[in-house]
Amino acid sequence: MSSSHNRSNNNSEGAKAEQIIFEFFAKSLHIILESRTPFMSSRNFSGDQMICSPSSSSSSSSSVRPRDKWFNLALRECPAALESFDIGRRSSLEPLVVDVVLVVRPLVGDQMNLSGKGELIRNFSGKDYQSGWNSDQDELGCETKNEQIIERWVVQYDNRKIRESVTTSSRRSSSNKLQVMYKKATLLLRSLFVMVRLLPAYKIFRELNSSGQIFKFKLVPRVPSIVEPFTRREEAEMQKFSFTPVETICGRLCLSVLYRSLSDVSCEHSTPMSPTFITDYVGSPLADPLKRFPSLPLSYGSPPLLPFQRRHSWSFDRYKASPPSVSCSPSPTRSDSHALVSHPCSRHLPPHPSDIPTGRRKESYAEEYPPSQDFSPPPSPSAPKHAVPRGITRTESAPVRIPAPTFQPKENVVAPSAHLKLSRHASLKPVRNLGPGESGAAIDKLFLYGRDDFRRHSGVRPSANSSPRISFSRSSNRSFQDDFDDPDFPCPFDVEYDDITDRNSRPGSFDHRGDIHEPLDSSGSYPKKSQDAAVGALVRMLKKAPPLRQDVSESSIPEICWNNNNSNKPAGAHEIAVASITASGIALASKTTADALEELRSYKEMKNHLLLSQSTSNPSSVTTSPFDV
């Protein structure tokens, strides 16, 4: 009875001991790998548990993984690393050998491989880590000459002393022995934990881990299935540290390390690669100057705003000679913006312009653009008409964020619009060579063009041809409305001439778009500057122009505008307008202005003619006739 009890006890103790041994192997391996696999270590997380890796932080303080409880040592989880070795399949009698290999890469040849192999090893994700290990197997073949084993850890369970240990400590109760064994194993693992950080290889690991540079060497821990014994010479070069074995019920746990001294190891250090090599990668900000700018407002405050905008104008100007190519530009920014906006953009035009003034932009967008449209490539130079819808839809989606940055010095609004803004340029360009950065001016001018165009070609507002115009006016309507709603809008634009003109043209464009039938009582919102006033007056005058043709009785309004705002310098205002227009790359608008003035003159002539004819009929009224022009 008692013997059977003892036997069962022994069995259970044996199983427990076996489990402790297994866990000891696993923990040892974990400790070694964690401190030898760059970017996998707890040192990255040790400074503050709160900034641990997801796995580690999830298990921080409050939650304890079952494996952490073993030997009371919570390590950063790298299950993939452990699983990849699959020590579960190992026999506990088989020694576990971990070689830490210093792999020296050829300087240039392996650059590409680096991204495939080295990066994988660096990667935190367990999967990549694992694949990194697989790739190391490949490297065994091609880079063997550049490898050096700098550490060899051997964990083994030595059961040769079974009889001895049993006989020597047979008096102790087995449970007590288990406790002692467990305690000693715990102590040994703590020593191991400290030891791995004292050995020279840790300095390499630290260097690889801490710097963002690419080294021509890397540290690769391996668990070879077939252990190649060191030559006598090699062994002589290495130093050995053997931990005091932990006695178990039927054997002992041994842990030892052979390591190279620091001088041997440090000679392998190489000058790190120049970091500029990486920064030139395709798609990097350095590779494409355009790419840089969208990110600038994100990282800085208001200063980047204007350079940002200017850069856009500049970049546009640079490409102006071939606008369609810009829209097709493979630049990352554009593709980014494309990614952001192009899906809606690639859809068809709003079916009918009559929908346009109704509802909010998004709503109307949803209504107007069924999602089943084709995703056409960027507009080609030969298809400007097709480009227009894209542009429209871009502006359609853009105003949600674009308007504010374009006109307001509000950096918080600028940042998110960076991509959209670019996309807007791209979309606008195919239309009419519009000014890129000054979308307000651009839209304004576009509208002017549209009106001109409208007058010349269609003559009827809600026509199919006018849909681009309407879309633009719609978007700008919204955006300008946003601008005016924003209390920050009156902020001084004291920086750029372009901006001033933009701003000047804005109220006009607002008037145009906001409500065409709106009475011209918004002069109070015009900027106080004389230039502004002049441009405002000009715009208003232009606005007044069309009805003049239709209704002769309103012909006196342009005069009033001139008188109210800047009656002295109509020509100056005209110049400013032209300047801004040319600066934005719009030659058409100047033509429009000229047309409008011409038209005005013709109206005045008509009026004069009428008055004269009246005066001829009634001579007393001649003296009161308001001839100004």
- Choosing from 161, 206, 343, 529, the residue that interacts with another protein (CB under 8 A) is 206
131 binds another protein (CB under 8 A): no
Minimum distance of another protein from residue 46's CB (angstroms): 4
Minimum distance of another protein from residue 161's CB (angstroms): 17
428 binds another protein (CB under 8 A): no
53 binds another protein (CB under 8 A): no
- Choosing from 10, 55, 57, 60, the residue that interacts with another protein (CB under 8 A) is 60
**Separation between Cα atoms, residue 486 and residue 409, nearest integer Å:** 12
Query: Which one, of 410, 493, 414, lies nearest residue 507 by Cα?
Result: 493
**Separation between Cα atoms, residue 403 and residue 361, nearest integer Å:** 13
- Give the x-and-dash track for 231-270 against another protein (CB under 8 A): ------------xx--------------------------
- Choosing from 2, 4, 61, 62, the residue that interacts with another protein (CB under 8 A) is 61
Q: Which stretch binds another protein (CB under 8 A): 38-46, 278-286, 408-416, 562-570?
A: 38-46
68 binds another protein (CB under 8 A): yes
43 binds another protein (CB under 8 A): yes
Under 8 Å CB-to-CB from 202, ≥6 apart: which residues?
A: 35, 36, 196
Nearer to another protein, 198 or 571 (CB): 198
Q: Which stretch binds another protein (CB under 8 A): 68-76, 365-373, 576-584, 599-607?
A: 68-76
Nearer to another protein, 76 or 543 (CB): 76
- Collect contacts of 137-144 with beta carbons under 8 A, ≥24 apart: 139/103, 139/220, 143/103, 143/104, 143/105
197 binds another protein (CB under 8 A): yes
Nearer to another protein, 195 or 586 (CB): 195
**Separation between Cα atoms, residue 137 and residue 142, nearest integer Å:** 10
**Separation between Cα atoms, residue 625 and residue 264, nearest integer Å:** 105
Q: What are phi and psi of 495, to 5 degrees?
A: -110, -50
- Choosing from 203, 310, 320, 343, the residue that interacts with another protein (CB under 8 A) is 203
Q: What is the DSSP letter of 156?
A: E
Minimum distance of another protein from residue 5's CB (angstroms): 25
306 binds another protein (CB under 8 A): no
Q: What is the sign of the dihedral through the CA atoms of 316, 318, 319 and 321?
A: positive
Nearer to another protein, 198 or 610 (CB): 198
Nearer to another protein, 195 or 345 (CB): 195
Q: Which stretch binds another protein (CB under 8 A): 36-44, 113-121, 139-147, 364-372?
A: 36-44
Q: Which stretch binds another protein (CB under 8 A): 37-45, 270-278, 428-436, 594-602?
A: 37-45
- Choosing from 39, 73, 97, 269, the residue that interacts with another protein (CB under 8 A) is 73
Query: Which one, of 574, 493, 564, 570, lies nearest residue 527 by Cα?
Result: 493
74 binds another protein (CB under 8 A): yes
Q: Which stretch binds another protein (CB under 8 A): 20-28, 192-200, 496-504, 571-579?
A: 192-200
Q: In this structure, are residues 249 and 256 in contact, taking their beta carbons and an 8 Å threshold?
A: no
CA 509 to chain centre: 34
SS3 238: strand
- Choosing from 50, 51, 64, 227, the residue that interacts with another protein (CB under 8 A) is 64
Minimum distance of another protein from residue 184's CB (angstroms): 5
- Choosing from 188, 305, 340, 588, the residue that interacts with another protein (CB under 8 A) is 188
55 binds another protein (CB under 8 A): no
Q: In this structure, are residues 574 and 581 in contact, taking their beta carbons and an 8 Å threshold?
A: no
75 binds another protein (CB under 8 A): yes
Query: Which one, of 142, 147, 145, lies nearest residue 116 by Cα?
Result: 142
Minimum distance of another protein from residue 268's CB (angstroms): 16
**Separation between Cα atoms, residue 40 and residue 98, nearest integer Å:** 16
Compute how many other C-beta atoms are within 10 angstroms of the C-beta atom of residue 235. 13
Q: In this structure, are residues 98 and 223 in contact, taking their beta carbons and an 8 Å threshold?
A: yes
What is the phi-psi region of residue 73: left when phi exceeds 0, alpha when psi lies from -120 to 50, beta otherwise? beta
Q: What are phi and psi of 381, to 5 degrees?
A: -60, -30
- Choosing from 25, 85, 153, 193, the residue that interacts with another protein (CB under 8 A) is 193
- Choosing from 10, 191, 530, 615, the residue that interacts with another protein (CB under 8 A) is 191
- Choosing from 41, 156, 423, 565, the residue that interacts with another protein (CB under 8 A) is 41
SS3 57: helix
Dihedral of CA atoms 377, 378, 382, 384 in degrees, nearest 10, equals 120
What is the phi-psi region of residue 30: left when phi exceeds 0, alpha when psi lies from -120 to 50, beta otherwise? alpha
Structure tokens at 433: 């060579």
Under 8 Å CB-to-CB from 347, ≥6 apart: which residues?
A: 369, 370, 371, 373, 393
Structure tokens at 263: 């001088």
Structure tokens at 267: 């000679």
Nearer to another protein, 50 or 491 (CB): 50
* Residues 168 to 187 in contact with another protein, rule: CB under 8 A: 179-180, 182-184, 186-187
SS3 260: strand
581 binds another protein (CB under 8 A): no
Number of shown-chain residues binding another protein (CB under 8 A): 35
**Separation between Cα atoms, residue 143 and residue 155, nearest integer Å:** 27
- Choosing from 14, 18, 49, 386, the residue that interacts with another protein (CB under 8 A) is 49
Q: Which stretch binds another protein (CB under 8 A): 40-48, 99-107, 269-277, 586-594?
A: 40-48
Binding site for another protein (CB under 8 A): 41-43, 46-47, 49, 60-61, 64, 68-69, 72-75, 179-180, 182-184, 186-188, 190-191, 193-195, 197-198, 202-203, 206, 243-244
